[in-house]
Amino acid sequence: MKKKWKNRYSRFAAPLLAFGLAVCAVISTPPLDGRAQAVDVNKSCTLTVHPGSEGLAGELAQAQVVIDLYKVADAVADSSYDTYSYRFLDGYTGLKVPDQPSNAQWKNLSQEAARIALNGGTPVISGAEAGKETAVPGCGLYLIIARGSSNADYITTVKDENGRETIATTAHSGEYTYTFPPSLISLPSKEADADGNITTDGPGEWLYNFSVTLKPEQEIRYGSLEIVKTLQTYETKDPATFVFQVEATLGEGENAQKVYSNVVSLSFTAPGQETELIKKLPVGAHVTVTEIYSGAVYNLVTADTQTAVIPANDVVSVAFINDYNNTNKGGGAVTNRFDYGGNGEENQGEDRAGAADSQSGSGQSSGWHWTQISDDE
């Protein structure tokens, strides 16, 4: 069937749901033959938007997802076929619906509409609770924007499968970020067929009270840990090195999962403060930091073990303080080598430092051990 284009109207022969909602294709538009009830574009419509599948319901409830609806076009009934055309509203008149659009083209149209709507557009429905039936102002084409109710900076960009940046919006639960692509939906719509396609020539009557389920991407949220080391007094013979074991787990009890394990070191050649920043630790992870090596001439003023919980998009700090113990022990410059001896794997780092003591040997904690190698070796 050849499509007609007239003025600001676009013959509706496109997926009834956006690519992010369902895989759809329109093959044809049935003529009015008296047997099917023609679409009534003056009828009231409602829309229910579920933010994700049932498996994500618990986490998505924490994310407090709300829905903004932007009306892009009014629906105009066709006099010859059981379908309708679009009359694009002010601000959206530059949008074009391709002849027999593919899902990729429909997705691009959603992006174009989102650029307009999120750049000063006004939603006709703002902050509707996800999963609740909402009355919409008339039949037509709507842009669905899902976002976190408490997330002020919810607009972001992501890369698609071709590496191109596309617009998306976000919501956050305790441990996850949910990313939603903008989605266009036409009301009224029809039931999906056995293959999940929704077409204008599909079976059944037009549906004026419609429900859709979004398909967000779920990603773990991250934060950072900062180890702050203060050396109050410096013994001037040799560099001072301090070694820390860092362990992080998610969950509790039998469900606890180790998500990070490593050693880090900080060295001093004068009194003062040094820091080490460990990035991209999962939000909610419980971190234990233990100072496992201080040398023979520096004593801890604080406890040797500190704990913290990783916050979202922020930095949490643990602090350790050492001071000279006036023992006057000496020690030449050494290289501290750290090895993991738990399962044959090795995460090795050499730290040029002066461990100001006369020892050479090894200490061990949670599978890690350090070995001092003198300059003569």
Q: How confident is the model at residue 47 (pLDDT cuts 50, 70, 90)?
A: very high
Mean pLDDT over residues 130-143, rounded?
96
pLDDT of amino acid 191: 83
| 359, pLDDT greater than 50 | no
Mean pLDDT over residues 127-140, rounded?
95
Q: What are the tens digits of pLDDT across the range 6-42?
A: 333 344 444 555 433 433 333 234 444 444 568 999 9
Q: What are phi and psi of 112, to 5 degrees?
A: -65, -45
Q: Note if the pTM is more than 0.75.
A: no
E runs forming strands in 162-285: 165-172, 176-180, 183-187, 209-213, 217-220, 222-231, 240-250, 257-268, 272-282
Q: State the Cα–Cα distance between residues 249 and 207, nearest whole angstrom.
A: 49
| 232, pLDDT greater than 80 | yes
Q: Does domain 222-374 have CATH number 2.60.40?
A: yes
Q: What are the tens digits of pLDDT across the range 199-209?
A: 665 667 899 99
Per-domain boundaries in the chain: 5-219, 222-374
Q: State the Cα–Cα distance between residues 313 and 116, nearest whole angstrom.
A: 29
Q: State the Cα–Cα distance between residues 183 and 181, nearest whole angstrom.
A: 6
| 255, pLDDT greater than 90 | no
pLDDT of amino acid 313: 81
Q: What are the tens digits of pLDDT across the range 320-345?
A: 999 998 876 543 334 455 554 544 44
Enter the tokens of residue 369.
């051990």
